[in-house]
Amino acid sequence: MLVHLRRARDHVDRSFAEELDLDELASIAGLSKFHFIRSFAAVYGLTPIAYVGERRVERAQDLLRTTNLTVTEVCHAVGYSSLGSFSSRFREIVGETPSAFQTRYAVHGAPRVPGCWVFMSGLVERRAGPGSPADGIPSNPGEAAGGSGLVASSP
């Protein structure tokens, strides 16, 4: 059973920024939806939905610390479509707002990566709107420009 739950958890870890379906996760684990929720919570201490939220907030913390992306860009990059929901969940887990967190690290942290480079390198998929990937930006840096990790743009 643990192997099956781990398979579903690994899928969440890889796809946390995408819209995840509980039925799909249960199917990956080979369990019914309700048995999956109970088993996942028993093994990992969180429901699948709470686990996804924590993964998203962890990634958001990383982006807010290391890039100059706006809070809204980070919100969409980690899979939230609502800035209010993102801010509430972030504050619930971290204990401060995303803006306060970003400001604290902007003052005391290392130099931050420009947001344009983050999007161009494929570290974060740019979305034209909630849930839709942008045109021409690879999700894997090695896919662009013959594997060099750079995206060539036309004038």
Query: With contact defined as beta carbons under 8 Å apart, do 78 and 52 qualify?
Result: no
Query: With contact defined as beta carbons under 8 Å apart, do 61 and 109 qualify?
Result: no
Q: Which of 1, 4, 36 is nearest to 21 (CA)?
A: 36
Residue 60 has pLDDT above 90, yes or no: yes
- pLDDT, tens only, 71-130: 999 999 999 999 999 999 999 999 999 999 999 887 666 666 666 656 666 666 555 444
CA distance linking residue 20 with residue 41, whole number of Å? 17
Residue ranges and CATH numbers for the domains of the chain are 2-50 (1.10.10.60), 55-133 (1.10.10.60)
Q: What is the pTM of this model?
A: 0.69
- pLDDT, tens only, 33-55: 999 999 999 999 999 999 999 99
CA distance linking residue 9 with residue 61, whole number of Å? 20
DSSP code per residue over 52-118:
HHHHHHHHHHHHHHHB---HHHHHHHTT-S-HHHHHHHHHHHHSS-HHHHHHHHHHHSPPPBPHHHH
Query: Could you tell me the two tokens for 43?
Result: 């093994």
